[in-house]
Amino acid sequence: MKLKIVHETEYTFNAEVFFEPHFLRFKPMVTPNIEVESFQLQITPLPTGLSEQIDAENNLIHHSWFDGVHKILSVRAESTVKIKEHNPFNFILYPTSFFELPFTYHDPLNELLRPSLHVAGLSKELIHYGEKIKKESNFNTVQFITNLTKQIHSDFIVETREVGTPYDAYKTFELKKASCRDLSWMQIQLLRHMGIAARFVSGYFFIQLEHPDFELHAWVEAFLPGAGWIGFDPSNGILTGEAHIPIATSAVSENTMPVTGSIRGDASSELATSLVIKKMD
């Protein structure tokens, strides 16, 4: 399957401002089942400089810097990706000690995964929710994560929330409705509470609809020895597969945002975004 992705982001300011250097995250990741055939980035105003680099968490990013003052910052990213068939269950855990919970990552792996094991924002009710699913899963690691993903999808309403960082996990649990990034962040905290390293993923989710309304999507990756980073999508209750196209992953959600940067000046801004994904063959 080949897809063409056009992702547009525009910030409009009510007064001229100076753009500090910005980090841009729009290029799809290359994975064992995803090949990036082409990628073009158009930025207005034209940057004084633009570099492609790898960040501390192995994400490909574009670093841009500017001269002068401006009232608009727009980014248009056009990608063509080729996606191969993918079986999300094609893995085994190894060593066998990781088949059941609880387990412990041993050094040096534990040190490498430490940022993805940091827990925040849990409540007693949320912990009980996770513990109940773990017990019903007979403490089986893969069964627990799969059941948790399905249960979140069943118990929570997914709604659109275009801006803002993810809610704290306890707030999402109380509301029982949230955006994809809120549900992902809540699941990440539950997995980390169980001793499972988990990180945040930002990317695209493609499904064929007659009148599609695409937007940036978020999901979860858990690190399972023998299998590596495995994706789970609580908004849809599934393991990630051919429909998921990652852009950036991080232990903290802020490091996956499409545009990161600051301005110099006194102005308010409005954000407009557009995402079009089309199947090419």
> pLDDT higher for 135 or 212?
135
Rounded Cα gap, residues 155 and 247, in angstroms: 28
- Do 231 and 120 lie in one domain? The reply is yes
- DSSP, collapsed to helix, strand or coil, labels residue 110 as helix
Amino acid 163: pLDDT: 78
The yes-or-no verdict on residue 281 having pLDDT over 80 is no
Amino acid 91: pLDDT: 94
- Do 268 and 231 lie in one domain? The reply is no
Amino acid 161: pLDDT: 84
- Do 100 and 220 lie in one domain? The reply is yes
- Do 166 and 31 lie in one domain? The reply is no
Judge whether 222 lies within some domain. yes
Give the domain range for residue 218. Answer: 96-241
Q: State how far the alpha carbon of 252 is from the alpha carbons of 6, 109, 161, 218, in Å.
A: 26, 19, 18, 12
Tally of domains within the chain:
2
Q: Per-residue pLDDT tens for 76-111?
A: 999 999 999 989 999 999 999 999 999 999 999 999
Are 11 and 270 spatial neighbours (Cβ–Cβ below 8 Å)?
yes
The yes-or-no verdict on residue 194 having pLDDT over 90 is yes
- Do 47 and 152 lie in one domain? The reply is no
- Do 106 and 47 lie in one domain? The reply is no
Amino acid 208: pLDDT: 82
Assign 140 a pLDDT band (cuts: 50, 70, 90): very high
Rounded Cα gap, residues 232 and 198, in angstroms: 10
Rounded Cα gap, residues 59 and 57, in angstroms: 6
Judge whether 16 lies within some domain. yes
Amino acid 32: pLDDT: 93
Judge whether 75 lies within some domain. yes
Q: Tokens at residue 112, please?
A: 């490498």
- Do 100 and 234 lie in one domain? The reply is yes
The yes-or-no verdict on residue 56 having pLDDT over 80 is yes
- Do 232 and 267 lie in one domain? The reply is no
Judge whether 218 lies within some domain. yes
Mean pLDDT is lowest, of 5-14, 62-71, 82-91, for 82-91
The yes-or-no verdict on residue 121 having pLDDT over 90 is no
The yes-or-no verdict on residue 211 having pLDDT over 80 is no
Q: Tokens at residue 104, please?
A: 């412990």
Judge whether 90 lies within some domain. no
Give the predicted TM-score (pTM) of the model.
0.95
- Do 122 and 215 lie in one domain? The reply is yes
Judge whether 135 lies within some domain. yes
Residue 68, sorted as left (phi over 0), alpha (psi -120 to 50) or beta, turns out to be left
- Do 14 and 135 lie in one domain? The reply is no
Q: Per-residue pLDDT tens for 213-252?
A: 899 999 999 999 999 999 999 999 999 999 999 999 999 9
